[in-house]
Amino acid sequence: MKTKGKILQKLQRKQTLRNSQIFLGLIVVLPLIVYSIAVLYKTFPPPLAKNNATVTIPDEEKYVQGQIIVKYKDTLSDTVINEHLQPLNAHIKKRIEGINYIVVTVPPGQEKTVLETLSHDPLISSVGLDHIYHLQFTPNDAFFSNQWAFENTGQSIKGKSGVKQADIGLKAAWDVTKGNGVKVGVIDSGIGMNHPDLQGKVGLLKIFAGSSIDDRHGHGTHVAGIIAANTDNGEGVSGICPGCELLIAKSIGDEGSGNESTLSEAIIWSADNGAKVINLSEASGAKSQFLDDAVAYAWNKGAVIVASAGNNNLNKLYYPAASPHAIAVGATDNTDKKATFSNFGTWVHVTAPGDQIYSTLPTQPYDLQPLKNLSFTYDYLSGTSMSAPVVSGVVALIWASQYGTSNTAVVERLFSTADKIPGTGQYWTYGRINAAKAVGTTATTPTVLPTLPPTPIAPTFFCIRNGPGGCQTQN
């Protein structure tokens, strides 16, 4: 028994000694561990704390596989950001200068998982998918040579008789101005460089999608012609703003779609190069803070952004038309009725002719030609993609008039002079645009609508939208 007791005492002494050694070891090592964690956190913060970053994950929308869009709250170097993203097998693909967003490459199929993880990261301000945007057209195979949208005498368009003066009153507007060099950004599928009615119209161009500025789809050439085709040259069609200069940004591929990041880059490029009007004839049902910020950037640079409301015959917000700083445009036919395809609702600001619009098309093979049995050089297309450039052309004319003092003044003038045709207040808020009234050719003074209040984003910020999808403070 004594021997057994001595053994137990010996074991207890050893255990006590061992515990003391462990305790002393912890005293020495623990500060080193804490210091190491602090250093690591400073250079490579883990995504732990909850955060209210904006997240956009509309399951029904298509997006680019293998990449997302991220905005950090603070300015960090590429090295630090790549270290931060490394545990997610993600890294920087490119930066979007001007609004400090980053396109991030992630493992294909893991876009939403990575997005969800980063949404809780205290370093992140905004994360979203890189949504794909589609051109908003409803083409058909008709061919007529009459631009009823500019002067509607009641002529028949594809067997449908029009209504006199269901047009934008363009001829009277030309008595005041034809554009006087106003720069208009056309962000689309490029332009038919050899088209006789577009020669000398392009002041600057840049490729964001595809390998050539040449329009192999057809859509961009049609839009460009509506805005600024050569006029009074005895050939082809007239443009709404024949004195305008076009800035062509190809952000839509030859197949007719493009992604959110290149679209936003093109918006920023257009604004940085002096565009006073930016036409966006593409749309998606996906809301994006990233795209909203790009549109806001252009607005704060002094541009007016015009966008097609979409061709789904729905009362649903489509972007970028529903962005707080964009003018949303619906479409009407030659009887001043809502075009059957046009999206609608009070979120749509104005409407313009968009059904059976005759304009320029490429002179060589293009994607839409065999698909829709269209002609080369000129033909009709329908869609809010066509009504948006009608508005862009009129906005450019306002810029060149006495009312072109600021983008706020131009937008207010466009809205306050719109004709309140049937459907106003239901399908769109202000009515069908009227170029003649907008540039001041009528003796009648239009009813001026109340000035929309500014929001806190910047002193020059003008909130176009007060209803659904309205202006909000941004990071």
Please indicate whether residue 419 is annotated as part of the active site: no
Q: Which residues sit opposite 307 in a β-bridge?
A: 280, 328
Lookup result for tokens 């934008």: 168
- The C-alpha atoms of residue 374 and residue 142 are separated, in whole angstroms, by 8
User: Which two tokens mark 56?
Assistant: 């956009």
- Concatenating the DSSP letter of every residue in 117-150 gives HHHT-TTEEEEEEEEEEEE--EE-S------TTT
Give the active site residue among 188, 197, 292, 336: 188
Please indicate whether residue 385 is annotated as part of the active site: yes
Give the active site residue among 238, 342, 385, 401: 385
Is the link from the previous residue into 122 a cis peptide, with omega within 30 of 0? no
Q: What angle do CA 9, 11, 15 make, to 5 degrees?
A: 115
Lookup result for tokens 């909130």: 463
b/e burial code for range 23-49 (CB count within 10 A of at least 16 → b): eeeeeeeeeeeeeeeeeeeeeebebee
Please indicate whether residue 288 is annotated as part of the active site: no
The alpha-helical segments, DSSP class H, found in 235-302 are 260-272, 289-300
- The C-alpha atoms of residue 88 and residue 149 are separated, in whole angstroms, by 53
Q: Name the DSSP letter for residue 289.
A: H
Residue 306's H or E segment, with its range, is: strand 304-308
Give the active site residue among 219, 222, 325, 349: 219
Catalytic residue numbers read 188, 219, 385
